[in-house]
Amino acid sequence: MIADLESPVTTIARAVQMRSSIPLRFAIVVISIAFYWIALTHPACLFRFVHVGPGGVRTEGALKIYSGSDMLHRSILGPFQVNLAGLANPLLWLSWFFLLSGRFKYAAIGSLSGITFSLQTFQVFLMPMPMDESGGNFAELVQLLPGYYLWAASILIVFLASWYEGRKPQVTSDNTELRLR
Protein backbone atom coordinates (compact mmCIF):
# COMPACT_ATOMS: atom_id res chain seq x y z
CA MET A 1 0.00 0.00 0.00
CA ILE A 2 2.72 2.43 0.93
CA ALA A 3 4.70 1.48 -2.20
CA ASP A 4 1.76 2.62 -4.34
CA LEU A 5 1.92 6.16 -2.99
CA GLU A 6 4.02 8.64 -4.88
CA SER A 7 6.23 11.17 -3.29
CA PRO A 8 5.07 14.77 -3.64
CA VAL A 9 8.18 15.56 -5.68
CA THR A 10 7.31 12.85 -8.24
CA THR A 11 3.72 14.08 -8.46
CA ILE A 12 4.85 17.67 -9.05
CA ALA A 13 7.44 16.57 -11.60
CA ARG A 14 4.82 14.61 -13.52
CA ALA A 15 2.40 17.55 -13.42
CA VAL A 16 5.09 19.88 -14.77
CA GLN A 17 5.91 17.41 -17.57
CA MET A 18 2.25 17.04 -18.52
CA ARG A 19 1.58 20.77 -18.37
CA SER A 20 0.87 22.19 -21.78
CA SER A 21 3.48 24.52 -23.18
CA ILE A 22 0.86 26.57 -25.03
CA PRO A 23 1.44 29.67 -22.85
CA LEU A 24 5.19 29.44 -23.56
CA ARG A 25 4.62 28.99 -27.29
CA PHE A 26 2.16 31.86 -27.31
CA ALA A 27 4.64 34.09 -25.47
CA ILE A 28 7.41 33.20 -27.94
CA VAL A 29 5.17 34.02 -30.91
CA VAL A 30 4.11 37.32 -29.30
CA ILE A 31 7.76 38.26 -28.71
CA SER A 32 8.63 37.32 -32.28
CA ILE A 33 5.72 39.36 -33.65
CA ALA A 34 6.78 42.31 -31.49
CA PHE A 35 10.33 42.13 -32.87
CA TYR A 36 8.93 41.82 -36.40
CA TRP A 37 6.64 44.83 -35.92
CA ILE A 38 9.44 46.95 -34.48
CA ALA A 39 11.66 45.85 -37.37
CA LEU A 40 9.02 47.01 -39.86
CA THR A 41 8.80 50.45 -38.30
CA HIS A 42 12.51 51.11 -37.76
CA PRO A 43 15.44 51.76 -40.11
CA ALA A 44 16.66 48.50 -41.66
CA CYS A 45 19.18 49.35 -44.40
CA LEU A 46 21.31 52.29 -45.46
CA PHE A 47 21.75 52.59 -49.24
CA ARG A 48 23.90 54.81 -51.42
CA PHE A 49 22.44 55.70 -54.81
CA VAL A 50 24.82 55.34 -57.73
CA HIS A 51 24.42 56.34 -61.37
CA VAL A 52 26.60 54.70 -64.00
CA GLY A 53 26.58 56.86 -67.09
CA PRO A 54 27.94 56.49 -70.60
CA GLY A 55 31.46 55.16 -70.70
CA GLY A 56 31.09 53.64 -67.24
CA VAL A 57 31.39 56.97 -65.43
CA ARG A 58 30.22 56.36 -61.88
CA THR A 59 28.46 59.13 -59.98
CA GLU A 60 27.66 58.60 -56.33
CA GLY A 61 24.48 60.15 -55.06
CA ALA A 62 22.69 60.59 -51.79
CA LEU A 63 22.41 58.15 -48.91
CA LYS A 64 18.94 56.89 -48.06
CA ILE A 65 17.66 54.88 -45.13
CA TYR A 66 14.92 52.33 -45.81
CA SER A 67 12.67 51.12 -43.02
CA GLY A 68 11.70 47.50 -42.60
CA SER A 69 8.35 48.12 -44.30
CA ASP A 70 10.15 49.70 -47.28
CA MET A 71 12.33 46.62 -47.53
CA LEU A 72 9.27 44.36 -47.24
CA HIS A 73 7.70 46.16 -50.20
CA ARG A 74 10.92 45.98 -52.22
CA SER A 75 11.30 42.27 -51.46
CA ILE A 76 8.36 41.56 -53.78
CA LEU A 77 10.70 42.33 -56.68
CA GLY A 78 13.57 40.37 -55.16
CA PRO A 79 13.12 37.19 -57.23
CA PHE A 80 13.56 39.24 -60.41
CA GLN A 81 16.98 40.22 -59.07
CA VAL A 82 17.77 36.66 -57.93
CA ASN A 83 17.45 37.71 -54.30
CA LEU A 84 15.01 35.56 -52.37
CA ALA A 85 15.41 37.20 -48.96
CA GLY A 86 11.78 38.33 -49.10
CA LEU A 87 10.66 34.69 -48.92
CA ALA A 88 11.77 34.69 -45.29
CA ASN A 89 8.63 36.68 -44.38
CA PRO A 90 5.97 34.13 -45.44
CA LEU A 91 8.13 31.36 -43.99
CA LEU A 92 8.20 33.24 -40.68
CA TRP A 93 4.42 33.71 -40.77
CA LEU A 94 3.94 29.96 -41.39
CA SER A 95 6.39 29.17 -38.60
CA TRP A 96 4.30 31.23 -36.16
CA PHE A 97 1.25 29.17 -37.09
CA PHE A 98 3.10 25.85 -36.82
CA LEU A 99 4.63 26.78 -33.47
CA LEU A 100 1.25 27.76 -32.03
CA SER A 101 -0.36 24.57 -33.31
CA GLY A 102 2.38 22.41 -31.81
CA ARG A 103 3.91 21.26 -35.08
CA PHE A 104 7.45 21.92 -33.98
CA LYS A 105 9.18 20.06 -36.80
CA TYR A 106 7.44 22.17 -39.45
CA ALA A 107 8.03 25.35 -37.44
CA ALA A 108 11.74 24.52 -37.20
CA ILE A 109 12.00 23.73 -40.91
CA GLY A 110 10.12 26.90 -41.89
CA SER A 111 12.07 29.19 -39.61
CA LEU A 112 15.42 27.61 -40.53
CA SER A 113 14.56 28.16 -44.19
CA GLY A 114 13.60 31.73 -43.29
CA ILE A 115 16.97 32.27 -41.61
CA THR A 116 18.71 30.93 -44.70
CA PHE A 117 16.75 33.22 -47.01
CA SER A 118 17.25 36.22 -44.71
CA LEU A 119 21.00 35.82 -45.02
CA GLN A 120 20.65 36.46 -48.72
CA THR A 121 20.25 40.14 -47.81
CA PHE A 122 24.04 40.21 -47.64
CA GLN A 123 24.05 39.60 -51.41
CA VAL A 124 23.06 43.25 -51.88
CA PHE A 125 26.52 44.23 -50.56
CA LEU A 126 27.99 42.52 -53.64
CA MET A 127 25.23 43.06 -56.21
CA PRO A 128 23.58 46.50 -55.96
CA MET A 129 19.82 46.76 -56.45
CA PRO A 130 18.68 48.21 -59.77
CA MET A 131 16.46 51.20 -59.06
CA ASP A 132 14.85 51.51 -62.50
CA GLU A 133 14.75 49.83 -65.88
CA SER A 134 17.54 51.96 -67.39
CA GLY A 135 20.27 49.75 -65.98
CA GLY A 136 22.26 52.78 -64.91
CA ASN A 137 20.78 53.61 -61.51
CA PHE A 138 21.61 51.38 -58.57
CA ALA A 139 21.40 51.35 -54.81
CA GLU A 140 24.40 49.93 -52.98
CA LEU A 141 23.90 48.55 -49.49
CA VAL A 142 26.19 50.48 -47.18
CA GLN A 143 25.12 49.23 -43.77
CA LEU A 144 22.51 47.05 -42.09
CA LEU A 145 20.62 48.88 -39.36
CA PRO A 146 18.73 47.70 -36.24
CA GLY A 147 15.53 46.91 -38.17
CA TYR A 148 17.30 44.16 -40.10
CA TYR A 149 18.74 42.62 -36.96
CA LEU A 150 15.35 42.69 -35.21
CA TRP A 151 13.78 41.00 -38.25
CA ALA A 152 16.45 38.30 -38.24
CA ALA A 153 16.06 37.90 -34.46
CA SER A 154 12.30 37.38 -34.82
CA ILE A 155 12.99 34.46 -37.15
CA LEU A 156 15.77 33.07 -34.95
CA ILE A 157 13.55 33.18 -31.84
CA VAL A 158 10.93 31.02 -33.54
CA PHE A 159 13.57 28.55 -34.73
CA LEU A 160 15.14 28.19 -31.27
CA ALA A 161 11.76 27.80 -29.57
CA SER A 162 10.52 25.20 -32.07
CA TRP A 163 13.80 23.30 -31.88
CA TYR A 164 13.71 23.32 -28.06
CA GLU A 165 10.03 22.37 -27.83
CA GLY A 166 10.43 19.69 -30.49
CA ARG A 167 13.24 18.00 -28.57
CA LYS A 168 11.14 17.56 -25.45
CA PRO A 169 9.36 14.18 -25.33
CA GLN A 170 5.60 14.31 -24.92
CA VAL A 171 4.46 12.59 -21.72
CA THR A 172 1.05 11.04 -21.09
CA SER A 173 -0.78 10.83 -17.77
CA ASP A 174 0.67 7.38 -17.08
CA ASN A 175 4.18 8.83 -17.53
CA THR A 176 4.97 7.11 -20.83
CA GLU A 177 6.62 8.96 -23.64
CA LEU A 178 4.58 9.33 -26.80
CA ARG A 179 6.93 10.61 -29.47
CA LEU A 180 8.89 13.64 -30.47
CA ARG A 181 6.95 16.06 -32.63
Per-residue model confidence as pLDDT tens digits over 121-161: 888 888 888 777 777 888 889 999 999 999 999 999 999 99
In a domain, 172, yes or no: no
Domain count, the chain: 1
Q: What is the arrangement of strands in the sheet containing 43-52, beginning at the earlier edge strand? A: 58-67, 43-52, 137-144, 129-130
Determine the Cα–Cα distance for residues 79 and 99; give it in Å rounded to an integer.
27
- Does residue 9 form part of some domain? no
Residue 144 covered by a domain: yes
Bridge partner list, 66: 45
Q: Identify whether 180 is part of a domain.
A: no
**Residue 104 belongs to some domain of the structure:** yes
pLDDT band at 18 (very low <50, low <70, confident <90, very high): very low
Cβ(114)–Cβ(155) under 8 Å? yes
**Alpha carbons 113 and 149: distance in angstroms, whole number:** 17
pTM for the model: 0.76
**Residues 106, 163 contacting (CB under 8 angstroms):** no
Average pLDDT over residues 6-15: 53
The pLDDT score that the predictor gives to residue 16 is 47
Range of the domain at 41: 21-167
Distances, alpha carbon 41 to alpha carbons 57, 71, 98, 143, in Å = 36, 11, 25, 17
Asked whether residue 16 is domain-assigned, the answer is no
Question: H helices within the chain, ranges in order?
Answer: 8-18, 22-41, 68-74, 88-100, 104-118, 123-126, 146-167
In a domain, 173, yes or no: no
89 part of a folded domain: yes
